[in-house]
Amino acid sequence: MKKFSILALFLSLLLLLSACGGGTAQPAATGGGSTTQPATGGTGAQPTTSGGDASPSGGKTITVGTTDAFSMDMLSQGTSESMQLVFEGLFQPNPDTGEIEPMLAESYNIVDPCTTTIKLNDNAKFSDGSKVTAADVLYSYERFVDPANNSPQAPKYGIFDFDKCTIQDDDNLTLVTKDPQPSIIAYIAHNPDIVSKAWYEKATPDQLYDQACGSGPYTITGNVSGASTTLQLRSDYWNKDKTPEAQTIIIKYYSDISTMLIDFEKGALDIILNLDSSSYTRLQGGEFKDAVVNTVPELENWYMVLPNYVEAFQDVRVRQAFTEAIDWAAVVKIAMGSLATVPTSNLSESAVPYYKN
């Protein structure tokens, strides 16, 4: 689930750029106004200079480099950086602490391990001016499990018993899962997945591509296929306390990291995402002047699997012997350098759900 890390780092970088002229990303570097992100641990780098040019309207313009492809199809493509800025979910993890915070939801109540009531924020609105309603939430979740959509995310949303989920009014709904899910809030907090039912049911393919209607702070104003996407801050964004200062965000797409690094070094990019371990090490080592690298925990764990169909592995003592004999710190260093760590318990910080306390 790499995308959450990108989002957390991306948003925290944007907030930092807005506040003090720097940037933040998942492993990322910012030098001369840039940020970069590694393959597994979230990282960002930020320049110590002005951080973003002024846009014609007077707000800041931030230019982002990424090796991810553009997508607005959350059903099949997961989430892209653009999608993260156009859409929102009911809850989101805090980029710094990992704690779950309300977004489109105002509050919730866990009635029992299978039943949770949600109260939506009455101020939440989509970019077309329509209110975010309980019907939008259920529609957004149900379309993932609709066989006609053939979504890879169907198993994630298949935990809900939609025959029992109910809508009380525009602001209140009850979510019911097929099996006990005591951590349901954390479970649904990692995707910007709520869309407007009325808008999506009549949208054309072209509109879905470059005029997507979301509740997030930005709207897409330009797309050059395979090259760049331009997003503008909504003047009517509903969440005033979390409104970014960046007026314009330009996301440039790269087929290789080396070209992206060259543009970053020349100052053509304020934030760069999706670094490999060698590039991250270069940035972390100070090779790029004024670059600041930031990381956040990645929702990705690597495992050594000892399959039970091998008779010897059915003996727990054999499994323990393997665990104790392997130099895991050396494995981590060889495989990922400084981008990964050896867990100190069965619950790692990148697990879902993870709570700091």
Confidence category of residue 338, pLDDT binned at 50, 70, 90 = confident
Mean pLDDT of the chain: 81
In the prediction, which pLDDT does 32 show?
Answer: 40
Q: What is the pLDDT of residue 187?
A: 86
Q: What is the pLDDT of residues 24-44, one digit of tens each?
A: 334 455 544 333 223 333 444
Could you write out the three-class secondary structure of the chain? CHHHHHHHHHHHHHHHHHHHCCCCCCCEEECCCCCCCCCCCEEECCCCCCCCEECCCCCEEEEEEECCCCCCCHHHHCCCHHHHHHCECCEEECCCCCCEEECCEEEEEEEECCEEEEEECCCCECCCCCECCHHHHHHHHHHHHCHHHCCCCHHHHCCECCCCCEEEECCEEEEEECCCCCCHHHHCCCCCCECCHHHHHHCCHHHHHHCCCCCCCEEEEEEECCCEEEEEECCCCCCHHHCCCEEEEEEEECCCHHHHHHHHHCCCCCEECCCCHHHHHHHHCCCCCCCEEEEECCCCCCCCCCCCCCHHHHCHHHHHHHHHHCCHHHHHHHHHHHHCCCCCCCCCCCCCCCCCC
The yes-or-no verdict on residue 49 having pLDDT over 60 is no
- Answer yes or no: is pLDDT of 305 > 90: no
pLDDT at 149 over 80: yes
pLDDT tops 80 at residue 243: yes
Q: Is the pLDDT of residue 22 over 80?
A: no
Residue 228: which pLDDT band, with cuts at 50, 70 and 90?
Answer: very high
At 214 the pLDDT is: 96
pLDDT above 50 for 132? yes
pLDDT at 289 over 60: yes
Sorted by where each starts, the structural domains of the chain and their CATH numbers stand as 2-87+216-296 (3.40.190.10), 100-201 (3.90.76.10)
**Residue 23 pLDDT > 90:** no
What would the mean pLDDT of 136-145 be, rounded to a whole number?
Answer: 97
Residue 290 confidence (pLDDT): 83
